[in-house]
Structure formats: structure tokens, C-alpha cells
A = this chain, B = another copy of it.
Amino acid sequence: MQCQPRRNEEHQKEMRAVQDSMDVLNGKWKISIISSICYYNKRRFSDILNDVVGISNKMLSKELKELEINQLIKRTVLDTQPITVQYELTEHGLTLKTIINNLTEWGIAHHKKIFEQ
């Protein structure tokens, strides 16, 4: 006796997984920040601030913190004078590269689709 067809568990699981990913990558800036660090391998706070057009230091600080909590980036304080801080991707963070590449390709294709059709 089941009026409603059983919810497909597999699909539910997938949706949660996708959501997990999106939660980690949420906000306007995360992907751009990762992309910047990834491209230059190691990158300082103020450099990223320049790379990511439009972001404020407050936001950058916040986003970097979240990325660090999620173990996507590693923060290193160099005791220069004045202090400099370097960010780099962790191994785990590097596994995002495939997704970023896909998003890049899709973004280009989408742009064409919308404006050239």
C-alpha cells in the first residue's frame, strides 16, 4: 500500500552531494579566488585582492577563512617585515581543477549560445 511512488534514494543522495559542493563554493568569489591561487601556485593576500576584481578585503578575508576551514587552501605566514601571508591550494583543493575546467568550458559555450545564436 503505497500511494506515492517511493522517493528515489539514489537521486536524493546525489542532490545532497551536489549541494555539498555548492555550499563549499558558494558566494560570488570562491571560484575566482581558487582560480587565482591555482594559476599562480602561491599567492599573497594583496595579490589575490588585485586578481579578483571588485572584491573587498573584508570579503576576501572571510572567503579565505572558509576555504581554509574546508581544507581547500593552506595559509602560511612568512615572517618578513612587514608580514606577508601566502595561500596555496591543498591537494584536496587541487581536485577542484576538473570542475573549474568544466565550468570554464561551459561558460564559454554558454556565452556563445546566448549571444550568438
Contacts and interface: CB of A to CB of B under 8 A. Distances in A.
- Chain copies in the assembly? 2
A57 interface: no
Interface in A23-44: 24-26, 28, 31-32, 35-36, 39
Interface in A88-113: 92, 95-96, 98-100, 102-111, 113
A11 interface: yes
Given A17-B107, A95-B109, 19 more contacts: A11-B35, A11-B39, A15-B32, A15-B35, A16-B107, A17-B111, A18-B35, A19-B28, A19-B31, A19-B32, A19-B107, A20-B107, A20-B110, A22-B25, A22-B31, A70-B110, A71-B113, A98-B102, A99-B106
